[in-house]
Structure 1
């Protein structure tokens, strides 16, 4: 009898023990499941954050690349415009220089031809040329201020005959200074005209063909360029 009660008690205890193990296993399973779910959620959250970070990085990278590209494009255009403007400016300067050089060359030829024409006129119209020379001597002598003066002529005018005595009186009348004009043995290398200077060579007045044309160069240049190039 006692033996039967003991076995039932043992069976009950075994049953309780078995139930306890099952409960423990369930708790462990629940804990494990919860842990796995939490871990899964943590991993999922981490993955999502990582994807967002990567997406943002890619977006930022694309935006930065676009910004860099735009900055490079703008810089390139600015540099290209600068180079283009400099090239155009250099081209204009070079073109203007070429045109100016050509104009000056033409002007030099025109003035040289004008002086040669004056010389031909002097040779072909001797009497009128002598009158012109005397007028130029009078003008230069008054400009110098009268006194003891020398008259220098071109080599082309060695044999020209001048009334220096009468001219001296006219200069004295104009300047109020007693004047004596003397023809110098020195000859000047010009096409025509005269040079008058004081005997001490300190005061000189030049009225040669070359000097006259040069003095008129500014005014003549405008006229010539206007006729040749329209301004």
Structure 2
């Protein structure tokens, strides 16, 4: 081998070695890039999975909250309906009283609310309840208590039962509707406690 061949062989050998080193480094860099990209992709996939699971849990929690709220609203609505039915039953019981118990109730209400000189306005269907004898008996008790007297008006009012007391300065609504409304405001919490413990 001549000197020129040796030089060429040396250059080729060095070039091969350099190219092998470059290829090895490039391959190592490529493997490192692939490993880093794979790790980043796995990390991103795990983050996305965690985010999706968290979002799913949030959606589930919101749906449960909405369902619980709807359930409470429905239960409250049912309870209010039961209370409404209880007060409606009380109103119907008052309206269906026989004449004598009805007169006793109305008499007590008049005696509790009359201030003397009042005029009694009743529903048309109740005119017979407020007979002359009934008014005389009421006035006898009012007079004994020195509270004046009442008289039955010819005017009728649109109520289901009870009466309205009218004086020169005011009206006192003693209709069943008004009385039940007042009782309901005071008693509804107790009624709810009794019905629903």
Under a length normalisation based on structure 2, what TM-score does the superposition of the two structures give?
A: 0.78
Alpha-carbon distance between aligned partners in 1 of 2:20 and 2:51, rounded to the nearest angstrom: 45
Highest RCO, 1 vs 2 (Cα 8 Å, sep ≥ 6) = 2
Corresponding position of 1:116: 92
Distance 1:123 1:69, change over 3 A: farther
Distance 1:38 1:86, change over 3 A: same
- The within-5 A match list for 1:164-175 is 170=147
> Residue 57 of structure 2: which of 72, 77, 81 is its match?
81
Alpha-carbon distance between aligned partners in 2 of 1:137 and 1:157, rounded to the nearest angstrom: 19
Alpha-carbon distance between aligned partners in 2 of 1:151 and 1:119, rounded to the nearest angstrom: 18
Say which SS state the counterpart of residue 191 (structure 1) adopts: coil
Note if contact 2:124-2:156 (Cα within 8 Å) is conserved in structure 1. yes
Offset, 1:193? 2.3
In structure 2, list runs of 5 or more residues that go unmatched. Answer: none
Alpha-carbon distance between aligned partners in 1 of 2:8 and 2:195, rounded to the nearest angstrom: 107
Distance 1:188 1:93, change over 3 A: farther
Alpha-carbon distance between aligned partners in 1 of 2:100 and 2:17, rounded to the nearest angstrom: 121
Over the aligned positions, Cα root-mean-square deviation in angstroms equals 2.9
> Residue 24 of structure 2: which of 48, 51, 55 is its match?
48
Note if contact 1:152-1:184 (Cα within 8 Å) is conserved in structure 2. yes
Offset, 1:127? 4.5
Corresponding position of 2:183: 216
Distance 1:41 1:198, change over 3 A: farther
Say which SS state the counterpart of residue 189 (structure 1) adopts: coil
In the alignment, does 2:87 pair up with 1:154? no
Corresponding position of 1:39: 15
Offset, 1:126? 4.5
Distance 1:204 1:48, change over 3 A: farther
Compare CA radii of gyration and give the structure with the larger one.
1
Alpha-carbon distance between aligned partners in 1 of 2:193 and 2:173, rounded to the nearest angstrom: 29
Total equivalences in the alignment: 189
Distance 1:116 1:154, change over 3 A: same
Say which SS state the counterpart of residue 170 (structure 1) adopts: coil
In structure 1, list runs of 5 or more residues that go unmatched. Answer: 1-21, 172-179
Offset, 1:80? 0.8
Note if contact 1:195-1:207 (Cα within 8 Å) is conserved in structure 2. yes
> Residue 188 of structure 1: which of 154, 157, 160 is its match?
157
Say which SS state the counterpart of residue 96 (structure 2) adopts: helix
